[in-house]
Amino acid sequence: MTLSIENRAALDFVLMLRRRWADTLYPRLCAQYEARFGDAMSGSPQLLATRVHDLAGYAGFAWLERGSQKMLWRAAKDAIESRNDGAGAVIRASTVEASTLELDPELDLPDWYTDWDIHLQPGGVWSSTVAADVYELGAKLVMQGDNDDYRFHRLFLETAIPPRQYRRIVDLGCGFGKSTWLLKKAYPRAEVVGVDFSEPCLRLAVRRANAQGLAIRFRQADAADTRLEAGTASLLTATMLVHELPLEVLSKLFEETARLLEPGGLLRILDFQFTGEPLRDLAMREHGLRNNEPFMPPMMAADTVGMARAVGLRNVRWTAFDERTAGRMPALHWPRRTEWHFPWAVLEAEKPV
């Protein structure tokens, strides 16, 4: 995709704002708290929130988080609508159809999925033909430009998924395929299936997979009710999915993973967990509210390990994930960092033999 100078400047400006929000405003807010309250971090989350909200830097911090997110999607949408599609059309026309797309015209998208513009993307990722293209471009800026080559997903694959022979891999909530393509490249002999609600995302996933010569089966379905054959998945993955599910759906998702996995099959989920740092965890709870992700704080507070164990999975645990270089960490402890960052974590589980 060729971007105009104006579109690229708008995207770069938003990226700069998001980086300064993370590496300047957040540390400044923490410093203001320490100067006023010292190390007084005890008490209820409500007390901590009251103290933080009264700090001089809080209003700007909160506004810029939501404001820059709105700017991000505006800039991404403008760029997509004004793009030069010539090169892309040639690529799509010249590739061999390798992947398959299974759409479900009878699928009713649930209200919890359609009522919220998740991530503040207008119309969500499902409501228009260009929604997936906008999401693909905007997703890179959401990660502050550090995931242009899908480095997070590569680290997840390389450090959190044991190398072995997998017969069938199912990628739940695959979106436009950024995690699914990597799985197929790493395990070319495996049957790889990507599952998602969004028809626009799945169509884009097929285009991108075909351009890379990857044979992947993309299926429009509920990740908590895939209607795939029971006991046939050697590996189930989900990246950035579970924090977007209501708790009642999340419990059904774990039931579905237990149903799909073959004996000895593995479950690996990349998402978020609280760090134990009160200010960072407060910022994460409020991130869910400011970015139209209402199910994120409840998920992070829920006993997801207990949910997985309740459906018969074993060796269940969360481990920290450092998205910079290390990837999966040996325990639920993150390296000390001053800037704001997503507290990435990996949920690991397996089905008993």
Q: Say if residue 83's pLDDT is above 80.
A: no
Measured between alpha carbons, how far is 7 from 302 in angstroms, rounded to an integer? 41
> Residue 184 domain-assigned?
yes
> Residue 106 domain-assigned?
no
Number of separate domains in the chain: 2
Measured between alpha carbons, how far is 247 from 262 in angstroms, rounded to an integer? 25
Look at 136 and 96; give whichever has higher pLDDT: 136
Q: Domain range spanning residue 127? A: 111-350
Mean per-residue pLDDT for 218-233?
98
Mean per-residue pLDDT for 35-61?
92
Mean per-residue pLDDT for 200-216?
96
User: pLDDT confidence of 90, banded at 50, 70, 90?
Assistant: very low
Same domain (yes/no): 293, 199: yes
Q: What percent of the chain shows pLDDT beyond 70?
A: 93
> Residue 48 domain-assigned?
yes
15 sits in which H/E element: helix 5-20
User: pLDDT confidence of 98, banded at 50, 70, 90?
Assistant: confident
Q: Say if residue 94's pLDDT is above 50.
A: no
> Residue 14 domain-assigned?
yes
Looking up tokens 């022979």, which residue turns up? 165
What's the pLDDT tens digit per position in 278-296?
A: 999 999 999 999 999 999 9
Res 131: pLDDT: 93
Looking up tokens 């579109």, which residue turns up? 7
Res 87: pLDDT: 34
C-alpha 256, offset from chain centre: 19
Burial of 42 by CB count in 10 Å (0-12 exposed, 13-18 middle, 19+ buried)? exposed
Q: Say if residue 89's pLDDT is above 50.
A: no
Helix (H, G, I), strand (E, B) or coil at 236: strand
> Residue 105 domain-assigned?
no
Mean per-residue pLDDT for 153-163?
96
Same domain (yes/no): 55, 152: no
Same domain (yes/no): 196, 341: yes
Yes or no: say if 295 and 246 are a contact pair by the CB < 8 Å rule: yes
> Residue 269 domain-assigned?
yes
Yes or no: say if 26 and 102 are a contact pair by the CB < 8 Å rule: no
> Residue 213 domain-assigned?
yes
Q: Say if residue 348's pLDDT is above 50.
A: yes
For residue 194, give the CATH number of its domain.
3.40.50.150
Q: Where are the alpha helices (DSSP H) in 228-351?
A: 247-260, 278-290, 296-301, 304-310
Yes or no: say if 113 and 220 are a contact pair by the CB < 8 Å rule: no
Q: Say if residue 57's pLDDT is above 90.
A: yes
Q: Say if residue 97's pLDDT is above 80.
A: no
List the structure tokens of 52: 């933080």
Mean per-residue pLDDT for 304-331?
96
DSSP letter (8 states) at residue 149: T
Q: Say if residue 91's pLDDT is above 70.
A: no
Same domain (yes/no): 331, 271: yes
Tell me which of 38, 63, 96 is where a domain ends.
96
Res 149: pLDDT: 67
Measured between alpha carbons, how far is 110 from 114 in angstroms, rounded to an integer? 7
User: pLDDT confidence of 229, banded at 50, 70, 90?
Assistant: very high
The partner residues of 209 in beta bridges, in order of sequence, read none
Same domain (yes/no): 13, 161: no
156 closest CA partner among 298, 340, 328: 328
Res 3: pLDDT: 83
Q: Against a cut of 0.85, is the pTM above it?
A: yes
Report phi then psi at 351, rounded to 5.
Answer: -95, 130
Least confident range of 14-18, 147-151, 214-218, 248-252: 147-151
Res 182: pLDDT: 96
C-alpha 187, offset from chain centre: 22
Strands (E), 118-205: 168-172, 191-196
95 closest CA partner among 261, 269, 213: 213
